[in-house]
């Protein structure tokens, strides 16, 4: 896989400033920002097709929005088990209130519920990691079939991942690793910029949007390469 190309290709497009700049603005607007997910899918398609400059333009915004909306709903559905686990500790907070008059019972319950909360937190983190691993495959399968139902064809999605597991793992590890490094670096810079009244806050906000846009283009190219090297299941 051309790892370096995934980092550099956006800047090889003569219109990258307008394309990514508009993407950052769209990403800022609630609801409309679903279109950015659709833009990422279209970028994946262009990489798979071998386009020399995969960044699409912003024509057909409606289709990008609908594609992004379908994928956002799919992501929400896949995230529901984790969200339910996350909500359990809140429900457990009611239990100690029932034993306010029994300090021994209250202490015992607090200890148990603290342990349970830690375990649930670990399970939620693990589930989130699993979802983050498979979600790019969901996007690729959706890109291939362009139907909402394709997002839940679990057998085909697993087949896609296993068809070139080493390439997929490489793409995922590079994307996650790069996103973490870029995010940490930007947080450090943002912390310094925030010391500048008003201007620093605005620059930090815009910079954060550009970082999100850039890491999405990185994801699109890495997994587009994976799909180009491995046959997508029908």
- Give the pLDDT of residue 128: 92
Evaluate the CA torsion angle 12, 146, 67, 231 in order and state its sign: negative
Domain ranges of the chain: 3-229
- The pair of three-digit structure tokens given for residue 147, joined into one six-digit string: 């139907």
pTM: 0.85
45-71 confidence digits (pLDDT tens): 999 998 999 999 998 899 999 999 999
Q: Cα(71)–Cα(33) distance, rounded to whole angstroms?
A: 12
- Give the pLDDT of residue 101: 62
Q: What is the mean pLDDT of the chain?
A: 86
Q: What is the rounded (10 degree) CA torsion for 10, 201, 205, 9?
A: 10
Q: How far from the centroid of its chain's Cα atoms is residue 115's Cα?
A: 29
As a whole number of Å, the CA-based R_g of the chain is 21
List CB contacts of 41: < 8 A, sequence separation 6 or more.
Answer: 64, 67, 68, 71, 139, 142, 143, 220
Confidence of residue 179 (pLDDT cuts 50, 70, 90): very high
Q: How far is CA 184 from CA 7, 93, 205, 208, 216, in A?
A: 17, 33, 15, 11, 16
Residue 144 — φ and ψ, nearest 5°?
-75, -35
192-221 confidence digits (pLDDT tens): 776 777 666 677 777 778 888 999 999 999
29-44 confidence digits (pLDDT tens): 889 999 999 999 999 9
64-118 confidence digits (pLDDT tens): 999 999 999 999 999 999 888 877 766 666 665 555 665 666 666 667 777 777 8
- Give the pLDDT of residue 155: 92
pLDDT over 70, % of the chain: 86
- Give the pLDDT of residue 91: 64
Q: Cα(105)–Cα(116) distance, rounded to whole angstroms?
A: 16
147-178 confidence digits (pLDDT tens): 999 999 999 999 999 988 999 999 999 999 99
């Amino acid at each position: 896989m051309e790892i370096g190309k995934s980092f550099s290709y956006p800047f090889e497009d003569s219109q990258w400033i307008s394309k990514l700049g508009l993407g950052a603005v769209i990403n800022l607007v609630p609801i409309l920002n679903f279109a950015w997910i659709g833009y990422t899918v279209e970028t994946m398609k262009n990489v798979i097709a071998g386009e020399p400059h995969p960044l699409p333009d912003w024509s057909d915004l409606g289709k990008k929005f609908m594609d992004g909306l379908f994928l956002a709903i799919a992501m929400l559905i896949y995230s529901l088990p984790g969200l339910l686990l996350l909500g359990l500790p809140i429900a457990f907070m009611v239990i100690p209130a029932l034993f306010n008059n029994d300090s021994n019972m209250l202490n015992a319950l607090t200890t148990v519920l603290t342990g349970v909360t830690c375990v649930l937190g670990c399970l939620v983190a693990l589930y989130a990691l699993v979802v983050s691993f498979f979600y790019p495959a969901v996007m690729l399968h959706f890109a291939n079939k362009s139907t909402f139902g394709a997002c839940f064809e679990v057998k085909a999605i697993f087949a896609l991942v296993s068809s070139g597991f080493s390439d997929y793992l490489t793409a995922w590890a590079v994307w996650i690793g790069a996103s973490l490094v870029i995010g940490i670096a930007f947080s450090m810079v943002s912390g310094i910029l925030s010391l500048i009244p008003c201007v620093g806050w605005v620059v930090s906000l815009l910079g954060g949007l550009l970082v999100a846009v850039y890491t999405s283009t990185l994801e699109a190219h890495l997994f587009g390469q994976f799909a180009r090297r491995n046959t997508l299941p029908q």
